[in-house]
Amino acid sequence: MIRRITLSRKLCTAVVLSIAGAIISGCGVSKSQFNPERKFSAGQLIEDFDIAWKTYKKNHPSYNWYGPEDSVNAVFEKVRASITDSLTEAEFRLRLSYAVAAIRCGHTTVSSSKAYSKFFKNSKTPQFPLSVKVWGNDSMVVLQNISKDTSNIKKGTIVTTIDSIGTSVFIRQMKEYISTDGFSDGFKELQISAAFGARFKWMYGLKNSYNIGYINEKGKDTSSVLPVYFPAKKDSLIKKDTSRRNQLNTNLKRPSYGFLKTDTSQKIAVFELNNFSHPKVPSFIRKSFKTLYKQKISNLIIDLRMNGGGKVENSTLLTRYLINKPFRMADSVSAKNLVPAYPKYTQHGWVFKYFHWTFAKKQADGRFHMQSAERVMHKPKKRYHFKGQVYALTGGFTFSASTLFLSKIMEQPNVTIIGEETGGGARGNSAVFTPYVTLPNSKVRIRLPLFRIITDVDIPQNGKGILPDYHVTPGSESIRLGSDRKMQKAYELILKSEEKK
């Protein structure tokens, strides 16, 4: 995600936000008090739904960016009309998520209440027996069989049906409830893959067992019945002595934000960067490019497949080490309305209500523009600037600030993009400030981005992410073997390039 952009009045803003953060506190609900099966009346849920809908209509900067406002309204109206009886929080979130997905914004999401999240954080509840990887319209491959069966359904197995229903049905239906930028499905597919079991349970409930159709090792369609998985209770688990294992792995653990690996013999480096938000990212970027310069690395693989974004200033810093001309962070950074529709339910709501003038000024187009971000020109770094070949690895989780970074360098002749379409929109997205709005009855939280970022007005407004030069997707064989097809493609291209020299 894209977080706060540095403002000219940053001192005032920082003070206000810190005060706001200090006085905001939640009343916790203990695990014993919370009942996930509690139902809210239709009247309560319609009130919550209307607050969410009116908030997005008033404040969302891109409510009608990917289609007519009437089309988005029609989806909300349909869902609102379906709330005719009492529902649990999970049931309400499911319907609200379907409506919110119509806005087509990856930063506009629906989250469970804090009490619900706390209750289920360590709960030992039944689970769907498989974890899977999905992509495209119907591809589903097993990552892990967590049931205690002796079937042939193992890592790399292609799943074709669940209880005689084609996998394409589940993939299509799950996608309808996930928010993403525009019309790119890559982010949705990775969200489904990351939590297929949880989404399956949320949308369809759980049975005692499932008939799984799959392709066996001989290439024939077959099936096996898998029981639902029941995790062991916490008090029955045998405590393992992990002190020695942790001691042995201390020096092997890589930082969560990324790492740099160099091969001086081949002049190749792999620079993995998983986010732009960690406080150590700026120093990590600077040290890495200093190392690349001193070791005379000529081929750089930048792995952004797990980079969901973060601070724009860090994205800009990385861009400066690679870009070959001055650039602006964005052509436009604007808001529709910075005064929240419901300040008392909005995180830092009173700050935006009374101090919105510190963030942006209203311009002739009727929108509030953050001109400090629009006007500043950034120059390429002179010291340790990288001039060799760049190979960027992308996927559905390449989002927000990482997509912003790619949009600035993707047309350079020394840059090659490998992988899948980015989850983040190529032309831009909505973010910068993304407060949560807590609905008063269900306590469900909705995320509200306040600014629309247009990275480059010359990029078509077609709802697509950044497309790779070489499209590389997963495969059942690569999953079974644990091989990295995208990284392999990068090395293949480097070797071919070196052979031509």
What pLDDT, in 10s, does the model give residues 114-167? 999 988 877 778 899 999 999 988 899 999 998 876 678 989 999 999 999 999
For 63-108, write each residue's pLDDT tens digit.
999 989 999 999 999 999 999 999 999 999 999 999 999 999 999 9
Classify residue 234 as exposed, middle or buried by CB count within 10 Å of its CB (0-12, 13-18, 19+): exposed
Burial category of 344 from C-beta neighbours within 10 Å (exposed 0-12, middle 13-18, buried 19 and up): exposed
Task: Enter the tokens of residue 128.
Answer: 């769907």
pLDDT for res 233: 64
- Domains belonging to the chain, first-starting first, are 130-231 (2.30.42.10), 258-431+451-500 (3.90.226.10)
Instruction: Confirm if 384 and 290 have CB atoms less than 8 A apart.
Output: yes
Average pLDDT, the chain: 87
Q: Note the pLDDT of residue 271.
A: 97
Residues in the chain where the model's pLDDT stays below 50: 1-31, 235-251
Instruction: Give the span between the Cα atoms of 104 and 108, in whole angstroms.
Output: 8
Q: What is the pLDDT of residue 375?
A: 87
The answer to whether 111 and 436 are in contact (CB under 8 A) is yes
Region class of 174: left (phi > 0), else alpha (psi between -120 and 50), else beta: alpha
* Nearest CA among 379, 493, 448, 338 for reference residue 52: 448
Question: In this predicted structure, what is the pLDDT of residue 471?
Answer: 95
| Beta-bridge mates of residue 431 | 451
Q: With left for phi above 0 and alpha for psi between -120 and 50, is residue 252 left, alpha or beta?
A: alpha
Beta strands at 299-303 and 389-394: parallel, antiparallel or unpaired: parallel
